[in-house]
């Protein structure tokens, strides 16, 4: 039996969902018996490989993210929107209520830590933000929605184990397992 491949990706958002994934602790050994983690913020290669499962944290905040999520979708059998930022833009999307220039001015020009240059940084490594942050499902088809800010480790583990065993996860089962 061929081992399945898992990728985790971090777009616009905090790193809370990936931290929750790490909270699986020793149970990660159960996952790696069944699958290889071939891409993540820790296991990072240049290209996004073909994978069975992609967990994507964060929302689409730039053209770069737009192109990246399209590429990920094309190379993933199952795409999981991991956490509230991916599902509904959550914290990242709060800037949707203000003009982008006002957000940039507040972050770079009016911030206490401003170095006095009087301009926002212009560096090729910085993403050029789009006017609006959008959730993943507005750009690509999402197979599994895993809500939470962040989703807890038990839920992430349950969903991954179900998918690795070729079963469709039922999130109401997680509540039964946890709460009797």
Token code pair at residue 106: 């507040």
What's the confidence (pLDDT) of residue 86?
Answer: 87
Domain ranges of the chain: 4-94+132-179
List CB contacts of 157: < 8 A, sequence separation 6 or more.
24, 27, 30, 31
List CB contacts of 2: < 8 A, sequence separation 6 or more.
none
What's the confidence (pLDDT) of residue 179?
Answer: 40
Mean pLDDT per 10-residue segment, the chain (180 residues): 86 75 79 84 75 93 92 96 86 80 73 60 71 92 91 89 92 61
From residue 2, alpha-carbon distances to 17, 33, 53, 100, 166 in Å are 28, 12, 14, 47, 13
Report pLDDT digits (tens) over 82-120: 988 888 888 787 787 888 878 777 776 666 665 556 666
What's the confidence (pLDDT) of residue 142?
Answer: 96
What's the confidence (pLDDT) of residue 54?
Answer: 95
Q: What would the CATH number be for the domain defined by 4-94+132-179?
A: 3.40.50.700
What's the confidence (pLDDT) of residue 43?
Answer: 67
What's the confidence (pLDDT) of residue 114?
Answer: 55
């Amino acid at each position: 039996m061929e081992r399945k491949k898992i990728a985790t990706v971090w777009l616009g958002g905090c790193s809370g969902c990936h931290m929750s994934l790490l909270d699986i602790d020793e149970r990660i050994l159960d996952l790696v018996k069944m699958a290889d983690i071939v891409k993540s913020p820790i296991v990072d290669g240049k290209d996004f490989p073909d994978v069975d499962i992609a967990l994507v944290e964060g929302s689409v905040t730039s053209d770069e993210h737009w192109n990246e999520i399209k590429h990920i979708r094309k190379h993933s059998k199952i795409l999981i929107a991991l956490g509230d930022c991916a599902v509904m833009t959550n914290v990242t999307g709060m800037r949707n209520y203000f003009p982008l220039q006002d957000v940039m001015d507040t972050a770079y020009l009016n911030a206490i830590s401003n170095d006095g240059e009087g301009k926002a940084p212009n560096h090729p490594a910085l993403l050029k933000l789009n006017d609006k942050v959008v959730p993943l499902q507005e750009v690509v088809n999402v197979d599994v929605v895993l809500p939470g800010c962040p989703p807890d480790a038990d839920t992430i583990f349950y969903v991954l184990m179900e998918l690795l065993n070729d079963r469709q996860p039922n999130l109401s089962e997680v509540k039964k397992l946890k709460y009797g």
